[in-house]
Copies of this chain bind each other. A is one copy, B any other.
Amino acid sequence: MFESAELGHKITKEVWDREVPALREALLDAQYDLAAAKFPVVILVAGVDGSGKSETVNTLNEWMDPRHIQTHGLGEPTDEERERPHMWRYWRILPPKGKIGIFDGSWYTWPIIERAYGRIKTSELDQDMGRIARFEQMLIQEGALVLKFWMHLGKEAQKKRLKGLEKDPQTRWRVTPRDWKHFEMYDTFRQVAERSLRATSTGDAPWIVVEATDPRYQRLTVGKILLERLRGRLDHPATAAPTVRALPRTSIDSLNVLKALDLTRRIEKKDYDEELLTLQGKLNLLARHRNLRKHSLVLVYEGVDAAGKGGSIRRITQSLDARRYEIHPTAAPTEEERAQPYLWRFWRNLPGRGKVAIFDRSWYGRVLVERVEGFCSEADWQRAYSEINDFESQLVRSGSILLKFWLSISQEEQLRRFEERQVTPFKRFKITEEDWRNREKWPAYESAICDMLDRTSTEIAPWTLVESENKHYGRIKILRTLVQRLEEEL
């Protein structure tokens, strides 16, 4: 993997002086076109210590218009970052469409170091790389151009570089004891890096290994490859993603998981009042459990219009300290959200430890309304299932307690509730033209819902189906599920 980067590549000053002005001009042109083309560019600059990563990043900033470049140096995570899934700190700084984001230090840094130090096993490294590959795949499918540079130095070259840096008073500071320690571990790092690069070098986002012995060679190479990839993408916009066919529905009868629900389940008002109080009391206590401070709680509410999401959410929040929860209604994305991958707006709202986030509709919009209404391509929603599963698995691994509720009512009950809402003044705001339109697409929604439940009800994040024809029954079932889950976890 690194052989071609140990050949002693060199560029003379003459070549440099001749080529740089034209390259710079072309890069600026490309950057200017990028602003109009509206896709983001993600550049990772990784590699061994002392390989001139930040110098290369500086050069790119110098050659191009730095106003449209966001450069991120990633050191230790902050406490807000530590309280959330590992990838949160990268999601929050992804470049929007039209911009270039350069990551000096990236999602590769920690897995590689952890493995080199022996703190994780090879199998865990492979898992991490699998997750990273899927994350990058998602970025690409969301339209991003992903460029990954690995700056390489052979063992002798690295030693020479570190010594050279140490000799110069101007650069001495840059060589830390850690750098020498890592140099001692050169072979281990090389092995781990090679394994990681191999696992994540894909057709769309291959690793580009650049020899770092000669700075002119290194920078000119990076600049030229960046130009080539940028230009390629600008001049030949990605053709429409190949149509992905939905898995054929093998069912030959009309039975499905929604229809199998027993919507006649109900609870009498008297029992409801009593049980509500008991469960709310328990929830109140659990919400103050000291162990909750080590977790966050994420509740996802999905259901057709008028299924009773809002009413159920209020029965939950009544037991919670208002300072601990936030409700995130999921409406049309904002301009900044539209300039990012679709999961971005959920990532930005993930709660810290000890906090509760309630999503009133959620990331499942991608495979429900966006699918049915055609707001995204079939390829987009087809890939969303696994992206969502990945997202939720990261959430859970980071210590979030995740519950997902599907509130189910019949078409007849929905009609009854719509009509009731129209005559109850303080419920009027809840019903819009759009609700009536959605209603007409009931069968399409039903397929989408069944697919969603089939593909995203996972062991770590199962769906709870809630028979909500009788509102009271639904509310109690949700509260009881939540209380049980918290009792298990805390």
Query: Which residues of A are in contact with B by a Cβ distance under 8 Å?
Result: 21, 24-26, 28-29, 31-32, 54, 57-58, 61-62, 65-75, 78-80, 102, 104-105, 170, 173, 281, 284-285, 288, 310, 313-314, 317-318, 321-327, 329, 334-336, 352, 360, 425-430
Contacts and interface: CB of A to CB of B under 8 A. Distances in A.
A231 B25 CA distance: 58
Nearest to A104: B323
Contact of A58 (B65, B78, B317): B317
Contacts of A74: 323
Given A25-B425, A317-B66, A426-B24, A324 B73 contact: yes
Given A102-B322, A335-B335, 4 more contacts: A54-B323, A58-B318, A66-B313, A71-B325
10 contacts: A25-B426, A26-B426, A31-B429, A58-B318, A62-B318, A65-B429, A66-B327, A67-B310, A67-B360, A73-B322
A72 B61 CA distance: 39
Contacts of A54: 321-323
A314 B61 contact: yes
A336 B73 CA distance: 26
A325 to B, nearest CB: 7
Interface SS majority for chain A: helix
A313 B64 CA distance: 13
B321 A73 contact: yes
A69 B326 CA distance: 9
Of all A-B residue pairs in the complex, the 8 with the closest CB atoms, nearest first, are: A73-B323, A67-B329, A25-B426, A335-B335, A32-B429, A57-B322, A28-B426, A54-B322
Contact of A334 (B170, B321, B336, B427): B336
Contact of A71 (B29, B79, B323): B323
Nearest to A171: B284
A62 to B, nearest CB: 6
Contacts of A68: 329
A1 B5 CA distance: 77
